[in-house]
Homo-oligomer: A and B are copies of this chain.
Amino acid sequence: MRSSVQNATLALLLEVAGTPKPGNVDRAHDFPDLHFDHFLAGAVGARPGLAAAADGAPVGEAFETAVAGMADQRGGNTQFGALLLLVPLVAAARAELSPASVRAVVEDTTVADAAAFYRAFEHVDVFVDDPPADAEALDVRRGADAIPALEERGLTLSDVMALSADADGVAREWTTGFERVFWAGERVLELDGPVSERGARVFLELLADAPDTLVAKQHGQAAAEAVSERAAAVLDGSADPESFADDLVASGRNPGTTADLVAAGLFVALERGVTV
């Protein structure tokens, strides 16, 4: 029987394997500077941080360790958002994994966890939007330089996630008991076929259900909504996934946050006994 750390690693691997996941690297798609191999190395590299979470280390420290290991490949940011979901889920799986247990992990986070989260941005380039004018001191791009401002304001990692919840689909999960992640996990359990292919289906379902926040940050809300409409059209058979994928790549639209949710959903499904 796999440990929760093994399930988290396998979730990252099944996520990137699932195809088609239009606009993302998957088993059948690479980008010019971002290759499937980078995701394999990212998943393997993240393990020490995931293991730290399973051993009860502070969530922020475990996340920073996971990101540092993930970044030990040439593709850059492969799974930052996925790890920001998986680390608290692995911590929650020390008890029984549930919305309640992951809420408890979120509530227990500290200012030190927030500081470690900021340090994680020093290991890899992550796309982030400009902060609001009154929040420049908390810009994650400041990395460790933002820690004094965090400490002065007494912000925990849970507080930091709440500040980004409107704009960022991963942060939003932290404020909702990982609602869409657990939904995705249940969908993976319901569907048939190879688990990675179920993940690809759930990717489209999540994307059709709500605009991807990475696309919204990079290209605006209207662009993100258009991507969701096209995902819905692929699901109802009125659009072709490959031409959807081609258009997303050509226009630089990467629904990467939705892929992060799929990775976390696959973890939930594996913990709940989906067989590969």
Contact = CB atoms under 8 A, between A and B. Distances in A.
A14 B41 CA distance: 9
Contacts of A35: 194
A45 B194 contact: no
Given A35-B194, A72-B1, A196-B36, A276 B41 contact: yes
Contacts of A38: 276
Nearest to A30: B194
B74 A275 contact: yes
Interface in A70-114: 72-74
A9 B196 contact: no
B6 A37 contact: no
A2 B70 CA distance: 10
A208 interface: no
Interface in A42-81: 43-45, 47, 69, 72-74
Interface residues of A, number: 30
A17 interface: yes
Dominant SS at the A interface? helix
A72 B275 CA distance: 9
A27 interface: yes
A195 interface: yes
A223 B198 CA distance: 38
B73 A37 contact: no
B74 A44 contact: no
A40 interface: yes
Nearest to A42: B276
A-B pairs with lowest CB-CB distance, top 4: A41-B276, A13-B40, A10-B44, A35-B194
21 contacts: A2-B44, A2-B72, A6-B45, A6-B47, A9-B44, A10-B41, A13-B13, A13-B40, A14-B37, A14-B40, A17-B37, A17-B40, A27-B28, A27-B36, A35-B194, A37-B195, A37-B196, A37-B276, A38-B276, A40-B276, A73-B276
